[in-house]
Amino acid sequence: MKEKNFQSKLIRATKWSSITQIAAKIVVPITNMILARILAPEAFGVIATITMITSFVDMFTDAGFQKYLVQHEFKNKEEKYKNANVAFFTNLFLSVILWTLIIFFNEKIAIAVGNPGLGNVIAIACIQLPLTAFSSIQMALYKRDFDFKTLFLVRMISIFIPFVVTIPLALLDLGYWALVIGNIFAQFSNAIILTIKSSWRPSWFYDIRILKEMLSFSIWSLVEAISIWLTLWVDTFIIGTLLNEYYLGIYKTSTIMVNSLMALVTASFIPILFSALSRLQNNDSAFKDMFYKYQRIVAYCVLPMGFGLFLYSDLATHIMLGTQWEEASNVIGIWGLTSSLVIITTHFNSEVYRSKGKPKLSFISQLIALSFLIPTCLISVKYGFWVLVYSRAFIRFQGIITGFIIMKIVMQFSPIKTLKNIYKPFLFTIGMSLLAFLLRHISGTMWWSFVSIFICILAYLLLIFLYAKEDVRLLTKAMRRKV
């Protein structure tokens, strides 16, 4: 009965998580498509810098407590709520302290990240830090209980805020201020709605002993988060400080758009996968089966997307960003291709590490990645923006090798089995790509590009139905939320 109840929760959670993420990943790119036609690339470069700062500070305000509350097995509800209280007040205190420091040193921070004169903008934008800290604990408790239906409501309201706040302000020629104000409104709505609907309310309880116990786990999650942040943002920092806001806007907006498209698939599964693996952490067979199942489903969806973006990067750029972003085409193409390969081979590894209570493994892998990434970016930027773009994209393959080694030695996941698990979607994607390459030589018009894409999709689906009937049933179950 307990197993049946778990599966039922998992099904409902997958359904609501998928609906939420699909809706978000459709609406957000549409919003960006509109804003990209109103605002210049430089405005997005400024926002990329602000986001880099806020995301860095956010790691300290959360301190890894969200993951702890999801992963840890509590004896009862009272113990869970006591831990939530300690995490909440710690987060809120740290966020206020860090925001205060940012206000006092705002211009020095702006100069350090290559944007002198934007100190006040950074200080105002960082008001979202205490707002994020205020809602993060409620969000963790919802994820732990597989209550993704409530998170759906919260997410839907926040993603539609740009239509009533950001876009109108952009049309009023407020530039990057439109994006700053829109982000603040989104975080404010999250904090209000989650607090109103949450069954848990902060109470005047704090225990240093609980904090120490949480930190024993969370300190590694925090260290891991810092290493992941460096991996995600070191290229942004280098472009912002050594090049200019225009190239930073081109680069970061392009990679964000690709990541948003990929997240149509991955974001639906990652929250569920982590919660499910955490509950199955003591059952190795079921644990691995769950991991491989999700990996294969994602591979069937992500690989054709990545290869398609590479082959049709000009069309994708024109649709997503408009004519003033033509230089973004090459960034979108190479980032889409490498992203699809990285996602299916290593993207879920960190969920395995954390669900087993070993976040330090992710930290180790990130340190190895940084030891390659930072020198690569610093050397390649000397030869220009495009050398940096391609060098940054291809150095990601180092992470695949590192991931295979750690998963094999520590977690007992065979690289051969991992590759066998995804070989069919990979071969089908190669076949589809060869067909696309041939079709593109027939005509270079836009209408033919759409026709050839449709033909490629049909060919890909035909290969699946002919040679992967078992996976068809698996994909069908996924669509019905019975994974």
Angle 238-29-44 (CA atoms, 0-180°, nearest 5)?
A: 35
282 plus 165 within the same structural domain: no
Other beta carbons within 10 angstroms of residue 15's beta carbon come to 18
69 plus 189 within the same structural domain: yes
- Please compute the mean of the pLDDT values over residues 372-383 and round it to a whole number: 92
Answer whether residue 30 is part of any domain: no
12 plus 128 within the same structural domain: no
193 plus 313 within the same structural domain: no
Band of residue 24 on the pLDDT scale cut at 50, 70, 90: low
Answer whether residue 43 is part of any domain: yes
Answer whether residue 32 is part of any domain: no
Residue 482: per-residue pLDDT = 42
380 plus 345 within the same structural domain: yes
363 plus 481 within the same structural domain: yes
114-118, 369-373, 416-420, range with the lowest pLDDT: 114-118
Domain final position from 154, 181, 206: 206
Token readout for 436 is: 């696309």
Band of residue 480 on the pLDDT scale cut at 50, 70, 90: low
CA 202, distance to chain mean position in Å, is 29
Q: What is the per-residue pLDDT across 361-377, written as a single tens digit (0 to 9) for each?
A: 877 888 898 899 999 99
The parent domain of residue 479 ranges over: 1-24+220-483
236 plus 277 within the same structural domain: yes
Choice between 419 and 20, residue whose per-residue pLDDT is larger: 419
- Helices 245-279, 41-62: axis angle to 10 degrees equals 40
Residue 334: per-residue pLDDT = 94
pTM score, two decimals? 0.71
Number of domains in the chain: 2
242 plus 174 within the same structural domain: no
The percent of residues above 70 in pLDDT, for the chain, comes to 83
Does 3 have pLDDT greater than 90? no
- Helices 77-104, 128-144: axis angle to 10 degrees equals 160
Residue 17: per-residue pLDDT = 61
191 plus 111 within the same structural domain: yes
345 plus 422 within the same structural domain: yes
Answer whether residue 213 is part of any domain: no
Domain final position from 206, 229, 261: 206
Answer whether residue 29 is part of any domain: no
266 plus 329 within the same structural domain: yes
7 plus 74 within the same structural domain: no
Does 73 have pLDDT greater than 80? no
DSSP string, 231-285: HHHHHHHHHHHHS-HHHHHHHHHHHHHHHHHHHHHHHHHHHHHHHHHHHTTT-HH
Answer whether residue 211 is part of any domain: no
Answer whether residue 460 is part of any domain: yes
Answer whether residue 318 is part of any domain: yes
